[in-house]
Chains A and B, each alone.
Chain A
Amino acid sequence: MPEVTPGDSGDGVQIDLISGARMEGLTSMEKIRLILDGVRDGNIVVLEEGLSPDEESKLIEVTMTEISPDEFNGIEIETYPQSGSANQGFLGRLMGKESTKKLTVIGPANQIETLHKDENLISALVSRK
Chain B
Amino acid sequence: MGLFTELRDSISRVVDRMFSDAEPKRIGIYGPPNAGKTTLANRIARDWTGDAVGPESHIPHETRRARRKENVEIERNGKTVSIDIVDTPGVTTKVDYKEFLEHDMEKDDAVRRSREATEGVAEAMHWLREDVDGVIYVLDSTEDPFTQVNTMLIGIIESQDLPVLIFANKTDLDDSNVQRISNAFPQHETVPLSALEGNNMDEVYGKIAEYFG
Contact = CB atoms under 8 A, between A and B. Distances in A.
Interface of A: 52-54, 56-58, 60-61, 63-65, 67, 69, 73-79, 81-82, 85-86, 88-90, 93-94, 96, 109-110, 114, 117-118
Nearest to A95: B3
Contacts of B131: none
B148 A64 contact: no
B156 A54 contact: yes
A57 B188 contact: no
A57 B128 contact: yes
A79 B121 contact: no
A88 to B, nearest CB: 8
Nearest to A90: B10
B158 A69 contact: no
Interface of A: prevailing SS: mixed
A27 B148 CA distance: 23
Interface in B153-208: 155-156, 158-161, 184, 187-188
Interface stretch (B40-48, B65-73, B74-82, B89-97): B89-97
B3 A64 contact: no
A64 B119 contact: yes
Contacts, number: 103
Contact of A61 (B6, B114, B122): B122
Contacts of A89: 158, 161
B151 interface: yes
7 contacts: A53-B152, A56-B156, A58-B125, A74-B92, A74-B94, A74-B95, A75-B93
Contact of B125 (A52, A57, A79): A57
A69 B111 contact: yes
B56 to A, nearest CB: 23
A77 B93 contact: yes
Among A56, A64, A69, A79, residue most surrounded by chain B Cβ atoms (within 10 Å): A64
B7 interface: yes
A123 B3 CA distance: 36
Contacts of B111: 69
Contacts of A76: 93-94, 148
Contact of B129 (A54, A73, A118): A54
Contact of A79 (B97, B148, B184): B148
B1 interface: yes
B10 A93 contact: yes
B126 interface: yes
Given A57-B129, A77-B148, A63 B93 contact: yes
B155 A53 contact: yes
A106 to B, nearest CB: 9
